[in-house]
Amino acid sequence: MVWPSFPPRFSIKLSKPELVPPKTPTPKEKKALSDLDDQASLRYHMPGLWFYENKESMVGVDPAAVIKEGLAKALVFYYPLAGRLFQGPNKKLIVDCNGEGALFLKAEANVALRKLGDFIHSPSPYLSKLQYNVPGSEGITGCPLLLIQVTRFTCGGIALGVRFNHTMADGYGIVLFLKALCELAQGGSTPSVLPVWDRDTLSATANPNPTCSHAVYDAPSFRHNFSLFDFEWWANKIFNVEKLASQSLYFFFPTILKPIMVRTSFILGPKEIQALRDQAVAQDYGRCSTFELIAACLWKCRTIALQPNPNATVRLTFPTDMRQKSLAGLKLSAGYYGNAIVMQSATSTAKLLCDSPITYAIQLIREAKNKVNGDYVKSVIDFMVTRGRPRMSVLRNMLVSDISRIGMEKIDFGWGNAIYAGASIAAYGATFLERPKSSDDSTTEKSILVPISLPHIYMQIFKREFKKMTSSSTP
């Protein structure tokens, strides 16, 4: 865990929210999203926070003015982000490129950035201050697709809050947009990587026909799975969580369960990652990626903590970025900023997962990763169209998304790289692998920060299992 229990308090003076349209006129047209973009699992607004220390050479320069100008210029190239979504037949999302603009806010904090310490890490208790939720802006259709807030601290440090409609872009895509914003804010005439729409590439044909199974979208079964301390059985029985999960934002903001949740972060440094690697080696397993090791560890520790019925089917879900794979017939441009990810799941009974060595989970993850090819992607797309654009299941499932390698911290609009950049949340059923705050310690670059949200007693079990698994090199 990376911080004590009580974060320091501070207040901010917030300007009136305003809409920033593109700097120059842009095409007025309707553009359909891809059939990966508009699935139910992506119909929410994704938050993120970037933190920057004061820079002497920028004294007297207003960061809000710099970013606002860069935003207006970037929206000329990324003009669909200045529009509004509407829903067509078969739940199809379409962008009305009307140039209304993105939401922009300026704020002043009455505290120095250094006072916040490691509380800038996900899950940041300051998200609602540094990324104000403008009333009426959180809808999927008819609302701004992008919200940016620039907060200045008394020391000259800066917080950049960015919230985007996930149906419009994935993590790589929003980083691409923000890099363009930075380039244009600092005098560039065009982005170094021009944006590409090209959503038809990831849309279904006239006669969609899924050819693969996609268990990640199957609702979990709770029949005959009762166990006295099974939190998810009780949560579904009392709150009907799977039904609630169909609401926008629920997957990442479970308001009904929020009062009983503990949200914190864990850091896996080189020693902890090596301990996991040593276990795989001791079990005569081959080379493992850092993602496989961490995802297997989290899946196993979380399943043990939640104490499901031993016969229950549990899943680990994770995205694969098609930009990083060579897939037949699905070559994407470097400027493609839409959702270029497909989800796949590793599946096991709870008993086998909990009782087996870590290599069991690693093997299941690897097998799921290897299923992704051109045919699988086309099948996912066709599945979305023929099955009403479903969402992933929340219960009996853990989503692990690695955003540590997309360059979030390298968003430089004149104040250098961010000292920390992350999703800022800990969500029940989902986590992000992030880089911790930069420091003089060279191990930071090789460390991974993991935000976790669990009910209190289950979090205590998770901590115990996590410590046991990452501090020992024995199987």
Catalytic residues: 166, 412
Residues 6+ positions from 202 with CB-CB distance below 8 Å:
34, 35, 36, 37, 330, 338, 339, 340, 377, 381
CB 167 within 8 A of CB 86: no
- Distance CA(354)–CA(360), nearest Å, equals 10
CB 205 within 8 A of CB 197: no
- Distance CA(432)–CA(415), nearest Å, equals 26
The neighbouring-strand residues paired with 158 are 52, 152
Please provide the distance, in angstroms rounded to a whole number, between the alpha carbons at the two ends of the chain: 24
Burial, 7: exposed, middle or buried (Cβ in 10 Å; 0-12, 13-18, 19+)?
A: middle
Three-state DSSP class for residue 328: coil
How far is residue 277 CA from its own chain's centroid?
26
The b/e string for 47-59 (b: 16+ C-beta within 10 A; e otherwise) is: bbbbbbbbeeebe
